[in-house]
Amino acid sequence: MEIVTSIEKMTQISLKWRKEGQKIAFVPTMGYFHEGHLSLMRLARKKGDRLVVSVFVNPTQFGPQEDFEKYPRDKKRDIELAKKEGVDVLFCPSKEEMYPPEYQTYVEVTELSRPLCGESRPGHFRGVATVVLKLFNIIRPHLAVFGEKDYQQLLVIKKVVQDLNLSVEIVSHPIVREIDGLAMSSRNVYLSSEERKSALSLFKSLKLAQELVKKGERNSDKIRKIVRDFILSHPYTKIDYIELRDPKNLIEKKEISGPTLLAIAIFVGQTRLIDNIILEID
């Protein structure tokens, strides 16, 4: 495995592979790998001849009160895990390499970025869309793999690819969970043992909503209230949002009619967690 920090060198490697007719698969990450990241890498490894994984904690997607400086990092561990997964290149650019002093260009997906995390984290998806487009232009992948835990992010990236006519296939991977159901996230390390017990209310509330739908409940407001009350019955929890939306365009749904995205963001102590489920009518 080669560790590359230079944009120029990364692009040279990719262009060489493309000239040789090799299919490049790409997994963008902010590092601090867990099983969720590794699952994305395994899927990408199967679908491509060459695998590139980026490790870059992107400052433009963090708000002024968010955890950019304390976001968990362990480059040495990431390198060892990437080697075990057969990664060909680990691309680890610096902040200065990605955003030089005179940098001033950004990408914005106007409608899909507004609700959910876009409302509570203004500017977040502008930062996500910008850095992913930059990475696509640097790495020139044929396909890129994203996890479904960040469902809104997945839709935003698909829209960037569609609207800007990019020739990269976006492949999604189902949410990877701990044995107890908690969605894997680098931020889970922030949780104390007591907070982690309360964090399970997030996954349990998704299952509760699915049961309500199976029993015939179709009113979004009723489902939202039951889910809210269940989460708030656990200590240390605070609701950011509980939304029922169309999974294709994130338009709000007042009634459950066909597949419906239930997306939730909560704080457990100081840690913000997100999760989601597609509610299905049997």
Domain map (residue ranges) of the chain:
2-173, 186-276
* Residues 161, 154: Cα–Cα separation, whole Å: 11
The CATH label, of 1.10.10.60, 3.30.565.10, 3.40.50.620, 3.40.50.300, for the domain at 2-173 is: 3.40.50.620
Using the CB atoms, write b or e for 209-230: b if 16+ within 10 Å. Answer: bbebbeeeeeebeebbebbbeb
The CATH number of domain 186-276, selected from 3.10.20.90, 3.30.70.100, 3.30.1300.10, 1.10.620.20? 3.30.1300.10
118 among annotated binding-site residues:
no
- Give the closest residue to 167 by CA, choosing from 132, 134, 143: 143
Confidence of residue 65 (pLDDT cuts 50, 70, 90): confident
Q: Is 21 annotated as a binding residue?
A: no
CA gap 205, 270 in Å, rounded: 20
In the DSSP assignment, the letter for residue 230 is H
Q: What would the pLDDT profile of 229-247 be if each residue is shown by its tens digit?
A: 999 999 999 999 999 999 9
Residue with tokens 């870059």: 56
Q: What is the pLDDT of residues 78-100, one digit of tens each?
A: 999 999 999 999 999 999 999 99
Report the candidate in 122, 96, 94 with the shortest Cα–Cα distance to residue 108. Answer: 122
The structure tokens 């990437």 sit at 82
CA distance 264 to 177: 16
Paired sense of beta strands 260-268 and 237-245, if any? antiparallel
Q: Say yes or no to pLDDT of 267 above 90.
A: yes
Cα separation, 88 vs 48, in Å, equals 11
181 annotated as belonging to a binding site for a ligand? no
Q: Is 10 annotated as a binding residue?
A: no
Average pLDDT score over the chain: 97
SS3 169: strand
* Residue 232 three-state SS: helix
Q: Is 36 annotated as a binding residue?
A: yes
pLDDT tens per residue across span 179-192? 999 999 999 999 99
In this prediction the pTM is 0.97
Does the annotation list 35 as a binding residue? yes
What is d(CA 199, CA 236) in angstroms, rounded to the nearest whole number?
Answer: 9
Q: What integer pLDDT is reported at residue 233 of this predicted model?
A: 98
| Residues designated catalytic | 37
Does 148 count as an annotated binding residue?
yes
